[in-house]
Structure 1
Amino acid sequence: MEAATGAELATVSGFVGRVDVLQVIADRLARRLEDQLRRGGPVKDSVGWLIGKGLPQRQECGDKLCDDRMLLDSGRDCPRCEGRQASSRARRLAVAAAVDTAMPYASETERRTATEQQLHDAGAAHTAADTGARWGPRDHFACGRRNGYRPGRRLPRRLAGRRLLTNSLY
């Protein structure tokens, strides 16, 4: 618990400074506790909740300053998260309009199901394209080999907790 708290304090103080770090962490914990009480009920294991949900930074967009769609250094809404949300909303509206056009006599439930399925398929295709663009069509064990992994041998300690990707993705 002490190590997790110290690590998060050090990370956040690097963004906001030593003076504001306690207020930023306190605000984060208050927001997350409010969300927990609204969505999941009371916290049953306070230490586990703090380490797993309360303290860790949640970067929704990958920006190192983003935490729960807010910028740590200024407290403003994260522009990257807003852009992603607007893009997602526009995609959902476009798919729903296409489904409404293609299925004019379907019930609301059928149109909603078709919309969700098309959004799911489009998201899966986007994820596959993104993975292919990053990794390319190569043997994913090559990444492990560079780090000391050989089939039939134990993983080095620095890789022991990681999951190595396989060609089963393609």
Structure 2
Amino acid sequence: MALRPVSWLWEGLSGWQQDRVEAAAKAELARLEGLLALPGGAPRLLADRLTDRLEEAGGEALIKRPYPWLIQRGLVQRQACSDLRCDDGMRLDTGTGCENCANVIHIRRGWRTQAAADVDREQPGLDGEARPQAVEARLQEYAALDAEDFVWRREQAALKQSLRAAARAADQERAEAERAAAAAADVVRQALACKDCGQARSAGLCEACDHRRQTETLTVEAGLVAAAGSADLTDPSSIAAALAGARTAIGNATAAEWQEFLRITDVATLEADPQGAADAYAFTAFQTAQQAVGEHRENALTMLRGTPEAEAEARRAFRAEQGRPWFRNNPTGADAVAAATKAADTARDRVAAYLLAARLEQLREQAAARPERPASWAQRLPGLAARPLDADAAGAVIA
């Protein structure tokens, strides 16, 4: 599409010349794409440029040397001003007249006025041909100064562009170094043994132990949610009973789920893979605890919906909805009662959610105020000694 206007000239080029023209056209298309807001318009712009250049030359038949004309005139952008989007006074991105060129013309008209005033002030006696010559000489001085300023600004722009390119290269190099460092650190981390069970190459924590930790966190959360819904927060024994009840329920549910898993699984396969059996049991416990948190939350919200605070807020919302302007004439009608009931339910749910969040926060503050002291080694060593080794893990889990 881009070279279609000069197809006749293309036929007169040698193979080497065609390759050079094609490379120059591709480079110009890539440059034009960078100037356009919307992609895909560069071929049309280059074709329009070649069409205009051919009209200036009087047609393809008058071009005696196609290759130099294409490389030096046809494919080359002719900026009438400093704007990179200007081509013969037209904007490449919009196809309209270049505003910067108009500003240049306006400025140069001002130069002529200023030059005439300077000549009249400095040489008041000039007349005839001497005055226009002096004005033209002053205009040439202005043009030389403007050209120097343009060269300086272009150099500054090139310097800023090179600095930006250097900064981008440095950022890319730094990003590559960070990625390499992260990859090396990950290799080292993957080689670490598990902190809890000592399994080699477990990235510091094997899958089973990770699930055990998460299960413990979820078990504590389930106990707090259960206590927030039913326990007396001023009675430590009531809170402890709720925590213990949640832990017992999760343990019983895990045992039941594991038995169901064993019923549908080949036990011999588990015995042949002790670590896989431990991972499966830990994952079963994790899923059970995760489900228990959601169930305890629903139970707590159900209980808190019946608190006096929730009921009082529901009654206020019911009356407020009945008092709406569109229900004021018939507050006991079916539509009014249905809307008021929905508003009351929403208010009750909102209060229950607020009470649950507040009670959970209170429980966490109480737990933080009374940190549990870790058990002594004399108390912990018997339990650690009773833990099965890897070879006995499958039998212990299956049993």
Task: Give the TM bin, normalised by the shorter chain.
Answer: 0.5 to 0.7
Q: Structure 1: 5+ residue runs without aligned partners?
A: 136-170
2:42 aligns with one of 21, 28, 35: 21
Q: Secondary structure at the match of 1:61?
A: coil
Give 2:90's aligned amino acid: M
Query: Secondary structure of the residue that 2:80 maps to in structure 1?
Result: coil
Alignment of 1:24-35 (within 5 A): 24-35=45-56
Aligned length: 130
Aligned to 1:72: 92
> 1-side partners of 2:33 and 2:119: how far apart?
48
TM-score (norm 2): 0.28
Amino acid of the residue matched to residue 29 of structure 1?
Answer: L
Q: TM-score, normalized by length of structure 1?
A: 0.60
Tell me the residue number matched to 2:6.
none
Q: Distance in 2 between matches of 1:72 and 1:95?
A: 34
Distance change (3 Å), C-alpha of 1:3 and 1:134: closer
* CA RMSD between the two structures: 3.1
The amino acid across from 1:71 in the alignment is R
Decide whether aligned partners of structure 1 residues 106 and 34 sit closer, same or farther in structure 2, where only a CA change above 3 A counts. Answer: farther
**1:55 CA drift (Å):** 0.8
Instruction: Kindly provide the CA deviation profile for residues 54-104 of structure 1, in whole angstroms up to 9, marking residues without a partner as x.
Output: 111223333232222211111011212211121012112332354467456
What is the CA-CA distance between 1:24 and the residue it aligns to? 1.5
Distance 1:76 1:132 in 2: 28
1:116 Cα offset (Å): 1.4
Cα distance change on mapping 1:93 and 1:44 into 2, 3 Å: farther
Residue pair 2:111, 2:142 contacting (<8 A) in 1 also: no
Match of 2:114 in 1: 94
- Structure 2 counterpart of 1:10: 30
Query: Which residue is 1:50 aligned to?
Result: 70
Q: Could you say which structure has the larger radius of gyration? A: 2
**CA offset at residue 106 of structure 1?**
2.1
Cross-structure match for 2:333: none
Identify which of structures 1 and 2 has the higher relative contact order when contacts are C-alpha pairs closer than 8 Å and 6+ apart.
Answer: 1
Distance 1:129 1:52 in 2: 27
The correspondence for 1:59, drawn from 79, 89, 103, is: 79
SS at match of 1:56: coil
Identify, as 1 or 2, the structure richer in helix: 2
Q: Are the counterparts in 2 of residues 103 and 111 from structure 1 also a CA contact under 8 Å?
A: no
Question: What residue in structure 2 maps to residue 116 of structure 1?
Answer: 136
Give 1:154-169 correspondences, 5 Å limit: none
